Chains A and B, each alone.
Chain A
Amino acid sequence: MPQFFNKRLILLLVSIIVLVALIGFSLREREELSWPEQFLKDTAGWFQNAFHKPVSSVTGFFENLNDLQHTYDENKKLKSRLDEYVKLKTEVQDLKKENDDLRNILNKEKDDLSEASRIQATVIGRNPDRWNEMITINKGTLHGVELDMAVETSEGLIGKVKSSNKFTSSIQLLSSIDPKNRISAVIQGNEDAYGVIEGYDEKRQLLLLKRIPFDKKVKKNSNVITSGYGGVFPRRLVIGKVVDVKLDQYGLNQTAYVKPATDFYDISNVVILKRDIPAPEEGKSGTGQEGDGGQ
């Protein structure tokens, strides 16, 4: 039956066209998801929330058992670090006070890029196919979560808010290979080196910090933090440590391989950071990403 076959072929072709159109539509920079999407995500979020609690309490129990086994060793290690910590804390307090005093003397207003307000949230879901690495959290626009805010765990930066609905939001992790995922960062050292986090090496599980000027000497093991110059993220969020440095293709820039401070696999509680100093208008009118202003 050739006619019958043709009908199916046409249906297939039409659906392929629709597929391409839909993918194109959703890859475009969208300020906001359409309301049916938001509604669906919130509804799914409600169910995820409801199921998450009992399931996580069961797995939490087993994790606790696991933790108990390592407690002795960890305790030993932590004790040795404790003295160090106290010393560090007093030093930081002293420096903070000195900084404030000096600012007062200079009559400088409060314009610290690292100032941010915090929203605590629980992770209730994760994209199961794990290509575009995303997690779902149980706070949304009602709680003050907005597009492009920085998200961190106690260990360091993990990503940014990709979309926010009324009661839930999606967070895109740093490990997702989205070409639009860019963060302005600093490598701390005697002389700060600025660059942009662009991409993720899936094989070695390292972040790529690109566009560092070629004449900067970057030491291995130096810390990498956000610079706050991208306009959206606050300054001083921990990203990770430099593992390896390479000259790029044309020798004009260097690329540093950064080992993330956080583990992108085991995330249960996150903090969303809203920068107190608003981004300049220019940065906002752009494509809604952490720009590459860090050079």
Chain B
Amino acid sequence: MSRFILPVTALLFFIFESIFANLFSGVMFGSDRVYVPRLIMIFIAFLAIYGSKRLGILYGFILGLCYDVVYTEILGIYTFLFPVLAYLISKSMKVLQANLLIAIFVSVFFVGILEVVVYQLNVLINFAKIGYPEFANTRLLPTLLLNLAFIVILSFPLRRMVEKYETERDSA
């Protein structure tokens, strides 16, 4: 049972992102702001913080590859970014102490980093033409707010789940 809990959660988050984008893309918030759900990033962040570096990078790579193939059809961006960010998160947790508040702060911070880097890459390949101030206003801030809400709701169950998985794996 506990063996499957991480993959199943990953799958649920993965599918839910697209369903969220589809159902709530304009109805709830007004159409000029873009709220990007970053559940996968949150998941990977918590894996890297409370699990192990290896776990974070592994899931980051697999989920990133799936994300690129299924959603963006531009291979490489997320496949590269998720593992790298997982690595950076676990590095930064060596300096910081792992209490829940700091975990929340770190995951929001890295969601922001992901958003900015993805924006820069899209500017590079000519898929985005908006300037930086506008990007911050219409995308970055709404996305951070939405994901902060997600993180606050999910942080406690996610932490418990990952910690439980880790202790069971260690004892086995």
Contact = CB atoms under 8 A, between A and B. Distances in A.
B17 A128 contact: yes
A294 B80 CA distance: 41
A14 to B, nearest CB: 11
Contacts of B84: 12, 15
A88 interface: no
A236 interface: no
Interface in B1-52: 11, 14-23, 25-27, 31-32, 34, 36-37
A26 B66 contact: no
B72 A132 contact: yes
B128 A162 contact: no
Given A15-B80, A52-B19, A126-B21, 7 more contacts: A33-B73, A40-B70, A63-B27, A126-B22, A177-B127, A179-B126, A266-B27
A134 B27 contact: no
Contact of B73 (A126, A163, A203, A263): A163
Contact of B19 (A26, A55, A131): A55
* Interface range for B: 35 or more
B71 interface: yes
B23 A55 contact: yes
B73 A170 contact: yes
18 contacts: A15-B84, A18-B80, A19-B77, A22-B79, A26-B73, A47-B15, A51-B19, A63-B27, A126-B25, A127-B18, A127-B71, A131-B72, A132-B74, A132-B122, A134-B72, A136-B18, A205-B31, A267-B22
Contacts of A26: 68, 73-76
Among B37, B68, B80, B121: residue with most chain A CB under 10 A: B80
Nearest to A131: B122
A37 B69 contact: yes
B130 A202 contact: yes
Nearest to A129: B36
Which 7 A-B residue pairs are closest in the complex by CB-CB distance? A265-B26, A22-B76, A125-B18, A126-B22, A128-B17, A126-B21, A128-B21
A128 B36 contact: yes
A231 B122 CA distance: 30
A-side interface mostly: mixed
A56 interface: yes
B71 A128 contact: yes
Chain B interface secondary structure, helix, strand, loop or mixed? helix
Given A26-B76, A51-B19, A127-B72, A132 B36 contact: no
Q: Size class of A's contact patch?
A: 35 or more
A48 B16 CA distance: 8
B75 A134 contact: no
B22, B27, B76, most chain A CB atoms within 10 A: B22
Contacts of A176: 127
A131 B127 contact: yes
A205 B128 contact: no
Contacts of A127: 18, 21, 71-72
A22 B73 contact: no
Nearest to B83: A15
A177 B128 contact: yes
Nearest to A66: B27
Nearest to B18: A125
A197 B84 CA distance: 38
B125 interface: yes
A87 interface: no
A35 B24 CA distance: 31
Contacts of B20: 128
Contacts of B94: none
Contact of A44 (B15, B34, B121, B125): B15
Nearest to B26: A265
